[in-house]
Structure 1
């Protein structure tokens, strides 16, 4: 499927990007990142407008985020419970709920690009938890701008070598993710050490 979609980028680039990023934000297994890299490469050769590619990918991602948030808001915890009946979804939802409840809008921003596999589940969790729509939208758009800009921009720079571009982004984001996780853990430990009552609650739970 990936090869067939990549072949459509020069002729159906913006529409295809919008559709694929929209579906990816609903947790469907589509190669959105690879298509954005490819679109960036075609833009570098003049076969596609870079502005149109970025705008279409961003629009699709934001619409997907909004639909996920709306579903979570309408369905509430009951919807999350039904989705969590499958073990794989249960793990993803549990992680998403934990980080959204703990970090709020910052979690929305980071799950757009740095922890993107959690993003679709964070949309549902944010809606179900009642995170304000304006905060969700503002931080969601900011995160999607980073995601779309990174992949199309790197594809533009690495024209003709998309595989190398993908490897660079994977390793770079993996490093950033590890550093972010360490920073979050450090902040949590500092908060626990400063609050003895919190330490007691952590032990009790």
Structure 2
């Protein structure tokens, strides 16, 4: 009887240890990505904190893109389209419903530089509109950090007209030289 109790006790302890190890192995893990971009006399730094959740896409927790003009000590934080989103599989941990995934420096016909950031929305059952071409969009900033596309829809004739007016119309017909916002992902 005592031996049977010991085996049952040992099996219970081993099962508990195994369950704890599996729970720890499957726990979400935070990771931070840093990116840099130079554009028109400005230096930009992006810091994105992700939550790596097993069996899910990376979930963006926060993202900050700061622009610093050459010779100035003060940084300007760029406007961000991301808003809090509560994913059903994450309890009490809101993530961003969109994050910048890539960026580039565009040169207008007159030589002026513009920062172009490319957003991708976070897939979720709570956001059925995050699909197809609605899943991604761009925003345009001048080298001082002013958002040129403020109050414009993600796409459409007004954005196209603005791009043409600024001398960036050629980028509507040819691919933009986008690069990932994480320096570690770029060669």
> What's the TM-score bracket when you normalise by the shorter of the two chains?
under 0.3
- Greater gyration radius: 2
Richer in helix (by share): 1
TM-score under structure 1 length normalisation: 0.22
Richer in strand (by share): 2
